[in-house]
């Protein structure tokens, strides 16, 4: 099964992607996480991408398309994968199609801007492994400590309110039009993000049934 998780920043794509990855035993691929890793490791790609992320802008299409192309050609993707945060522009969607990838479902997680701004302020991320948390909706077992690896939980720099507002503008302008693209392809499954994580999971599974 090949899935795309689509939606604005902070809609909970990463958390749902991880849940689906465990449920279907297919890898979840987050372009944002791959880029942030590259930044931490100071690779040439990371160094080039950093200024875009810091400003809440999208990293250039060529860069992310190359990342995804390489990643999905790896062995663990042969039974499918979940794309979290890709595609984010029409160019990227067309590039994915031209790679010959047949996507089964595009799950569109819908959350209002107002709720997103509230949510992003509570978002935390493991400094070591990148696992996502939320102080209210998805708290770690021990305050400030990653359940998976014991790493320290931090706020992402691009989650500060000013950068969040910029990212939402970018989302509405560059990414949201993709909904129309996938609607035309008959792949769009709309899921309203719920207050409770478990409820959103249920809705996502329901949407996948409907789309079969």
Nearer to Zn ion by Cβ, of 121 and 128: the residue is: 128
Q: Pairing mode, if any, of strands 132-134 and 105-110?
A: unpaired
Residue 123 bears catalytic tag: yes
Residues facing 84 on adjacent strands: 5, 30
Residue 42 bears catalytic tag: no
- Cβ-defined contacts of 194-198 (< 8 Å, 24+): 195/137, 196/137, 197/12, 197/15, 197/137, 197/138
Residue 13 bears catalytic tag: yes
Residues facing 145 on adjacent strands: 142, 152
Report what 47 binds from ligand ADP, Zn ion, none; CB cut-off 5-8 Å by kind: none
Q: Decide: is 35 part of the binding site for ligand ADP (CB under 6 A).
A: yes
- Residue choice 52, 77, 91, 94 for contact with ligand ADP (CB under 6 A): 52
Q: Which of 71, 119, 124, 167 does the annotation list as catalytic?
A: 167
Residues facing 83 on adjacent strands: 4, 29
Q: Indicate the burial class of 70 (C-beta count within 10 angstroms; 0-12, 13-18, 19 or more).
A: exposed
Please list every residue from 53 through 72 that binds ligand ADP, using CB under 6 A: 53, 56-59, 64
Report what 181 binds from Zn ion, ligand ADP, none; CB cut-off 5-8 Å by kind: none
Q: Decide: is 13 part of the binding site for ligand ADP (CB under 6 A).
A: yes
**What are the CA-CA distances from residue 179 to residues 30, 107, 191, 204 (Å)?**
19, 10, 13, 17
Q: Decide: is 31 part of the binding site for ligand ADP (CB under 6 A).
A: yes
Q: Are 18 and 33 in contact (CB under 8 A)?
A: no
Binding region for ligand ADP (CB under 6 A): 9-10, 13, 30-33, 35, 52-53, 56-59, 64, 85-88, 92, 158, 167
Please list the active-site residues: 13, 88, 123, 156, 167
Binding region for Zn ion (CB under 5 A): 126, 128-129, 131, 146, 148-149, 151
């Amino acid at each position: 099964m090949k899935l795309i998780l689509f939606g604005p920043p902070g809609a909970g794509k990463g958390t749902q992607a991880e849940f689906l990855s465990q449920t279907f035993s297919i890898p979840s691929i987050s372009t944002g996480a791959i880029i942030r890793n590259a930044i931490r490791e100071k690779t040439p790609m990371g160094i080039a991408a950093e200024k875009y992320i810091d400003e809440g802008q999208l990293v250039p299409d060529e860069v992310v398309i190359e990342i995804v192309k390489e990643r999905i050609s790896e062995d663990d993707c042969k039974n499918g994968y979940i794309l979290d945060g890709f595609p984010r522009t029409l160019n990227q969607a067309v590039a994915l199609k031209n790679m010959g990838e047949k996507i089964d479902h595009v799950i569109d997680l819908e959350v209002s801007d107002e709720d997103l701004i509230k949510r992003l302020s509570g978002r935390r991320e493991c400094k070591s492994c990148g696992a996502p948390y939320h102080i209210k909706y998805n708290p770690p077992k021990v305050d400030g400590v990653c359940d998976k690896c014991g790493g320290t939980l931090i706020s992402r720099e691009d989650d500060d309110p000013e950068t969040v507002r910029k990212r939402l503008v970018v989302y509405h302008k560059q990414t949201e039009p993709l909904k129309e693209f996938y609607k035309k392809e008959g792949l769009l499954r709309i899921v309203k993000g719920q207050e409770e994580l478990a409820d959103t999971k249920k809705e996502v599974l329901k949407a996948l049934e409907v789309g079969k």
